[in-house]
Amino acid sequence: MLASLGLPAQDAATVGRLMAEADLQGSDGHGVIRLGPYARRIRAGGMNLHPDIRIVSERAGMALLDGDNGMGHLVMKRAAEIAIEKARNTGIAWVGSRLSNHAGPASLYARMPMAANMIGLYFAVGNANHLPAWGGLDMLLSTNPIAAAVPAGSEPPIVLDMATTVAAYGKVKAKAQRGEPMPVGWMVDRQGQPMTDPNKREEGFLLPIGGYKGYGLSLVVGLLAGTLNGAAMGSEVIDFNADFETTTNTGQAICAIDLDAFGDVDAFKARVDQLSRELRASERMPGVDRILLPGEQSHERREQYARDGIPLPASLLRDLDAMAAEAGVAPLGAR
């Protein structure tokens, strides 16, 4: 489908693989479900199919990438590769992007340095503002996510992937689709009162985690991933679910930390294993079946789906097959 939309074959394959990998780890809000919106943006001329992704500024431990409005997956894969390569020499490297686009789940890129025995950190400016300043009403901040991936030994890696809001906006929409109320604490209305009806979401705001702390965290992530790189932040962020033509100027940042620079890699991994085990073996609160480490459920889904295939909801499958039929591409249902 991506090739039929005009992406060069190799870029289409890269983006397709990364989208599938999002679904493989259960990040289904950031996987193949995005094909429709991506296609719409491409057809509206809102994304550059032949970007000249280039380094505009560089030092031994950093680079700033201009994504030339190409697909975010291509920009961030390149960013991760550069960060890993530089961190081999300097011990740590940071690569920021501007003029990038939505790139899928944050953990996809934070995970990349792990194969090189590095810790990966990832920060991004979200593509729609749903969060005001603490005490404010103007939506000037996004769910700006943070991801961190820490290699382990025999235990699964520890992979955190979180929005800086209590709930992601997609979860609110899912509640509306299922006709369920939201828990108190996800959103408030313009009077600051709890909002539980997901159908009224346009009249309210997402709440940041820990109140003013999450506001500060979202802002700092935006400064690191957006403002530092000359990418959109604050009122410059467009709502990419409403506007398919304007360049998003998405900013992201990836940081790779080489374990080998700090000491023996296996000893580090053994310490992570031990910590994972002691957390998991913790005495549990009544009613709690299992203590989970960040990324553990994704890790299990990754193994299960790789073995059994990735389940797609029937409605999504129908939408994809309809898109395929329109583009003259073999449908998934027919396979």
Q: Which of residues 100-139 bind a copy of itself (CB under 8 A)?
A: 119, 132-138
262 binds a copy of itself (CB under 8 A): yes
118 pairs with which residues across the strands?
Answer: 258
Which residue, 53, 57, 103, 59, is CA-closest to 230? 57
* Residue 12 or 65 with smaller CB distance to a copy of itself: 65
279 binds a copy of itself (CB under 8 A): yes
Output the furthest CA–CA distance in the chain (Å, rounded): 56
Under rule CB under 8 A, which residues in 295-324 are in contact with a copy of itself? Answer: none
Task: Say how far apart CA 252 and CA 303 lie, in whole Å.
Answer: 28
* Residue 46 or 151 with smaller CB distance to a copy of itself: 151
Task: Say how far apart CA 6 and CA 28 lie, in whole Å.
Answer: 24
Q: Given the rule CB under 8 A, which of 67-75, 266-274, 305-313, 320-328 is the region that contacts a copy of itself?
A: 266-274
263 binds a copy of itself (CB under 8 A): yes
- Asked whether the beta carbons of 257 and 92 are under 8 A apart, the reply is yes
Under rule CB under 8 A, which residues in 147-186 are in contact with a copy of itself? Answer: 148, 150, 158, 160, 162, 166
Query: Minimum Å distance from CB 315 to a copy of itself?
Result: 29
- Asked whether the beta carbons of 317 and 332 are under 8 A apart, the reply is yes
241 binds a copy of itself (CB under 8 A): no
Which residue, 219, 139, 243, is CA-closest to 187? 139
Query: Minimum Å distance from CB 48 to a copy of itself?
Result: 22
Size of the site for a copy of itself (CB under 8 A): 79
Of the candidates 26, 96, 105, 198, which one interacts with a copy of itself according to CB under 8 A?
96
Task: Say how far apart CA 70 and CA 74 lie, in whole Å.
Answer: 7
Task: Say how far apart CA 74 and CA 332 lie, in whole Å.
Answer: 24
Of the candidates 290, 307, 309, 314, which one interacts with a copy of itself according to CB under 8 A?
290
